[in-house]
Amino acid sequence: MTVLHGEGVSRGVASGKLRFLSRNAQAQPRREAADPEAEAARFDKARGEAIVQLAQLYVETRARLGEEQSLLFKIHQMMLEDLDYRETVTGLIRSEKVCAEYAVDQAAAQFSAMFTQMDDRYMRERAADVLDVSRRVIRLLTGREDDALMEAEPAIIAADDLAPSETARLDRERVLAFITAKGSASSHTAIFARTMGIPAVVGLGDSLLEAYSGREVFVDGTSGEVYVEPDAETVAGLQRRRAAEDERRSYLERFRGREAAAPDGRRVLVCANIGSPADLGAALTGDADGVGLFRSEFLYLGRDDFPSEEDQYRAYREAVEAMGGRTVVVRTLDIGADKQADYFRLPREENPAMGMRAIRICLTRPQVFLTQLRALYRASAHGKLAIMFPMITSVAEVRRIKEICAQARRELEAEGKPFDGHAELGIMIETPAAAVISDLLAREVDFFSIGTNDLTQYTLAADRQNAAIEPFCDRHHEAVLRLIRTTVENAHGAGIWAGICGELAADAALTDIFLDMGVDELSMTPGSILEIKARILDR
């Protein structure tokens, strides 16, 4: 028996024969193009065909998995329509006089490397999306389609990685589970697996060998373990795990669609943190009461210039419409620290976590801020949208923010563009300064959302990016909990609501404490929502 260790990303235990998904993943050969303009035209034709395919995949995925899960393929269409992507490919064709396949392959590598090198984990995972859409274009250019996933015999699929479009095509009746050498829990591939109820383990690395193909394996998507030809005793234990997991899943489903309430009868919203419209499917599938944190950085990262008002408006509108009347809290631009964009031309800093980031950038570049606010207010006409500002440390900052918000509203009103003039304005409490003066800040805004990741970092003077000091970063530290309690009490004293959108929101060990504090909302990764609802309702 051999045991492989990875990251379990979709719970459940499955067993069956292992089948490796083989692809022609070799780099495209460089071929000279006698007529670069003809090659550019070939690329544009294949790109157009790929967009049509993605539109069809969107329709098929929507029918199979629901509207929310299909949104990713709209994002993929937008990637192929992106001017930077198109110009990079055609520029390579014309400047180097190379074939379209090679140019697409090189452009995909460039964009993927750019995403991979970003500090923000969400943006790193977008590297898989750009590779996925580029492979689609290359298949169309070469005339080779991959139907390896459509074989008839049920099996456990193994691969170096699975693209989101491949995962969406998985047949639940024929794919018992999947395991990959690469990948992460928050990738769209993992989200699709959870939606379809397919056990999955990713990140197995070099331990996943093609030599295991055809062997009997057990996959535990909870522990992240893969057993190759397990002995009888291990099989018996795994079967007990499978029965327990089935029982747990049935238990959690009892809480789907129910409103969570504190012991005093007060409703507690259990919401989702998301990074782009493509994640809305996970939020709704996870039974979110709304979106408590919509990170807007995806619009700014991985590009060469500032996003336009129209680009932002479309993304925010898509989010509020998809949530169907449930509140979407959008955090304004939080560039800086571990999230960098070269075109901002931010100065290099010794301590960027405490430097020019988030609201400080917005207030020193008011036109960039105003563009985002205009887009947000315009989107508010299509659903329930709230605007939240990060990294606040003073009342003066909030008052200046409100002045710029008022300017955005005046401009839109003068232009005859509809918006919700009563859209809530809130701030993140993620600095000790904001928590200490939360009584003063509460008079200025409609809500607080406590960002426990940064609040813990700044309170304990413990850099959350530094693994070496992890032992000194006690996320249950009494100082952090006292600041949270003070913030909630001051919010309620001023008649506004207070939520938590940091990692502690999903910490079941603290749920009862937060309820006793009077927290009104807990926002977390979508996969944790039913767990926390169950914790609240089954006390």
345 annotated as ligand-binding: no
How many helices and strands in the chain, by DSSP H and E?
A: 20, 16
Three-state DSSP state, 208: coil
Q: Are 23 and 162 in contact (CB under 8 A)?
A: no
Residue 501 among the catalytic residues:
yes
32 annotated as ligand-binding: no
Catalytic residue among 76, 188, 271, 405: 188
453 annotated as ligand-binding: yes
Distance of alpha carbon 162 from alpha carbon 492, whole angstroms: 47
430 annotated as ligand-binding: yes
Distance of alpha carbon 113 from alpha carbon 95, whole angstroms: 21
Q: Under 8 Å CB-to-CB from 296, ≥6 apart: which residues?
A: 312, 316, 330, 331, 332, 333, 334, 372
Distance of alpha carbon 336 from alpha carbon 391, whole angstroms: 11
Q: At what angle do helices 127-142 and 67-81 cross, to 10 degrees?
A: 70
Distance of alpha carbon 529 from alpha carbon 522, whole angstroms: 9
Catalytic residue among 99, 271, 405, 501: 501
Q: Are 284 and 322 in contact (CB under 8 A)?
A: yes
Q: Nearest-5° angle of CA 76, CA 82, CA 83?
A: 165
Residue 271 among the catalytic residues:
no
Q: Are 170 and 177 in contact (CB under 8 A)?
A: no
| C-alpha distance from residue 27 to each of 23, 44, 108 (Å) | 12, 20, 11
Distance of alpha carbon 479 from alpha carbon 499, whole angstroms: 18
Distance of alpha carbon 450 from alpha carbon 428, whole angstroms: 5
295 annotated as ligand-binding: yes
DSSP result, 376-429: HHHHGGGS-EEEEE-S---HHHHHHHHHHHHHHHHHHHHHT----TT--EEEEE
Annotated binding site for Mg(2+): 430, 454
Annotated binding site for phosphoenolpyruvate: 295, 331, 453-454, 464
Annotated binding site: 295, 331, 430, 453-454, 464
Catalytic center residues? 188, 501
